[in-house]
């Protein structure tokens, strides 16, 4: 099998495992697209337009996704401190809990990789992956 196929297979596996892990930890009705959004919102929040750019969808779609996350209690809209047109979307405590659950699920998967590759092997894998995707995680899916 080619490298490219292996990469896609591994990523698909990981995505599925993170999603399953998040669900198993009690967060229902949450989709991979929400994970994309959370990773963008996590540090300090973001505007709808920024989120749209991150997810590569229209700002209307991003706005709808935010609306859904607000309904589910994972994020809230706050007035933007520097621009009265904009609104800052930030994670609620539930949003942070869900993000932590995703990180735990990812860590579980990585722990299994360490069983197969060793800690050093995982570190080298990480190093190589970072060098071929230098732009950073444009869309850190789950």
Min CB(52)–DNA separation in Å = 7
Distance of CA 97 to the CA centre of its chain: 13
Partner in contact with 84, chosen from a copy of itself, DNA, none, beta carbon below 5 to 8 Å by kind: DNA
Which chain residues interact with DNA by CB under 7 A?
31, 33, 47-50, 57-61, 63-68, 77, 80, 83-87
CB closer to a copy of itself, 39 vs 88: 39
**Contact footprint for a copy of itself (CB under 8 A):** 1-15, 18, 39, 103, 106-107, 109-110, 112-113, 116-117, 121-122, 124-126, 128-133, 135-142
């Amino acid at each position: 099998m080619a490298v490219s196929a292996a990469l896609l297979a591994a990523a698909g596996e990981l995505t599925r495992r993170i999603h399953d892990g998040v669900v198993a930890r009690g967060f229902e009705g949450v989709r991979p697209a929400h994970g994309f959004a959370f990773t963008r919102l996590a540090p300090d929040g973001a505007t709808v337009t920024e989120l749209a750019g991150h997810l590569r969808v229209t700002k209307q779609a991003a706005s709808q996704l935010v609306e859904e996350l607000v309904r589910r209690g994972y994020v809230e809209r706050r007035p933007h401190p520097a621009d009265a047109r904009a609104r800052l979307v930030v994670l609620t405590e539930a949003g942070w809990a869900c993000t932590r659950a995703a990180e735990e699920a990812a860590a579980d998967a990585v722990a299994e990789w360490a069983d197969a590759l060793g800690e050093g092997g995982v570190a080298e894998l990480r190093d190589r992956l970072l060098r071929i995707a230098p732009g950073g995680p444009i869309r850190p899916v789950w």
